[in-house]
Chain A
Amino acid sequence: MSEDVSKHRLTVPVKDPDELLGLKAGDIVYLDGTLITARDKAHQRMFEEGREPPVDLKGAAIFHAGPVVREVDGDYELVVVGPTTSTRMAKYLEDALEAGVRVIVGKGGMGAKAPELMEGRAVYLTAPGGCAALLAERVKRIRDVHWLDLGIPEAMWVLEVSEFGPLIVTVDAHGNELSAGE
């Protein structure tokens, strides 16, 4: 592979889904705005137990991640944060998209149905796995936390991010998926 890799900036939440059409599988993208973490238990609570999401998911960017945090005077400070395996959340993809999620950040892929389900409305971005110290430098602050009763990794953390990446467009909104060997 010798072609130049395109690089983009994207503001989240996404106001106009057409903005996603400029991203092609294999491109590199950096996010600015708000990222909301959600893992197994938050997904289960929203989409199996039918609980109202504690944050607005319209146009939202969901981050499959559980941070390391430090409690300082009753507030939480971010220590590091990086992606967890997205395939565990693949069974909730349709529900998440229905709820308005337009950007998903994780690692390891989003399941075989992802290109079809995300076509025309959402993208899946791979964050370099394990690069939690690097990615934490791009998080400005923890703005909020919901459902802390699920435990620190499984709670929904609302993160304010700036130039968050590098993220690799792995499923684009044109129905394409980047996979090994391309």
Chain B
Amino acid sequence: MAEEEAEEELVESIAEATVKALKVAETRLPDDVKESLESARESESNERARMILDAILENVRIAEEKGLPMCQDTGLITVIAEVGRRFPIRLAETIQEGVKRGVQRATKEVPLRPNVVHPITRENTGDNTGRRAPVIRFVPTKGEELRLHFMPKGFGSENSSAVTRLLPTEGLDGIWDFVLETVKKAGGMPCPPIVLGVGVGGTIEEAAFLAKLALFRPLNVRNPDPALADLEDRLLEAVNELGIGPMGLGGDTTALAVNIEMAYTHTAGLPVAVNIQCWANRRATAIIYPDGFYEIVQDDYPRGEVE
């Protein structure tokens, strides 16, 4: 009985932390994204593009000041749950229950737009939850605590994302072309300036997960592998040379960052995924300690290491 009570307390703590983290994520853009938008505004040479970037920055200011969601597409809530050693994985269900409860509450309290529907009947559940929604990925980590990394993901950008299986012989050139093709095809649809998450290797779903994981990394943090960091820089330059610009109406600012994550793969294949994120790269992390205390931060991110 005492154990049940303790678990219920933990569920409640996770639910509370979820509401607070979502409120922060939806209303306050992380500093690295704000700074990146500001510096893009400074260097943008296209007048119309500058006007759009000004509107975006003004919007970010109003949303933060008034505590309003910065975008009406408050997203499909996506969570990477890094489970530390003091949070044994048997609590996965507890975590899931707490997050779901929190999302339902946040829908009313922030408020969020109810976006979650049955994939075929399109019936809206009204509270942003449903079977396997929000999307939660569990990653075991070395830390003591539970880190819930939240990303409310809009679908203008999600719909512009793509996965492919290249031939091993297509290599780096193949990856390069696929990224640029995906961005070109997306045009103004994902609300540029965009952030690109690129997943290379693994299996088809591993590549897709890595692309999403990459989007959680702050824009001013490069991949620790120098070769991948260099590829991130060069791809960003190439993407911005496309001239798509803010909202696809032309300009120098098409993307704010390219983040790449990699996994070893089969000798016969090269899965690649590109997950596009809009300028509203909304993130917040709830760090929850085993005693139920929690804090909300916006500069933490999942490393995705399973050690």
Question: What chain B residues lie within 8 Å of A166 (beta carbons)?
Answer: 51, 55
Interface size class of A (residues with CB under 8 A): 35 or more
A132 near B59 with CB under 8 A, answer yes
**Closest residue of A by beta carbon distance from B62:** A133
**A28 an interface residue at 8 Å Cβ cutoff?**
yes
**A170 an interface residue at 8 Å Cβ cutoff?**
yes
Instruction: Identify the 7 closest CB pairs spanning chains A and B, nearest first.
Output: A129-B191, A151-B124, A134-B59, A133-B63, A131-B59, A132-B72, A130-B71
**A182 an interface residue at 8 Å Cβ cutoff?**
yes
Number of A-B contacts (CB under 8 A): 155
Q: Which of A108, A152, A178 contacts B113 (CB 8 A)?
A: A152
CA gap between A133 and B244 in the complex, in Å: 24
Q: Which of B48, B55, B251 contacts A131 (CB 8 A)?
A: B55
**B134 an interface residue at 8 Å Cβ cutoff?**
no
Q: A130-B191, A131-B55 are in contact. Are A1 and B72 (CB under 8 A)?
A: no
B window 179-227: CB within 8 A of A: 187-189, 191
Q: Which of A87, A108, A132, A178 contacts B71 (CB 8 A)?
A: A132
B51 near A82 with CB under 8 A, answer no
- Interface size of B by CB at 8 A reads 50
CA gap between A87 and B156 in the complex, in Å: 10
Q: How far is the CB of A8 from chain B (nearest CB, A)?
A: 14
**B93 an interface residue at 8 Å Cβ cutoff?**
no
A130 near B115 with CB under 8 A, answer no
Q: Which of B123, B124, B244, B280 contacts A152 (CB 8 A)?
A: B124
CA gap between A128 and B279 in the complex, in Å: 11
A window 28-63: CB within 8 A of B: 28, 41
25 contacts between A and B (CB under 8 A): A65-B72, A66-B72, A66-B113, A67-B72, A68-B111, A68-B112, A79-B69, A80-B68, A85-B159, A107-B191, A108-B156, A126-B249, A128-B246, A129-B278, A132-B69, A132-B70, A132-B72, A133-B63, A133-B66, A134-B59, A134-B62, A151-B117, A168-B52, A179-B250, A180-B242
CA gap between A52 and B32 in the complex, in Å: 48
Q: Which of A3, A131, A137 contacts B56 (CB 8 A)?
A: A131
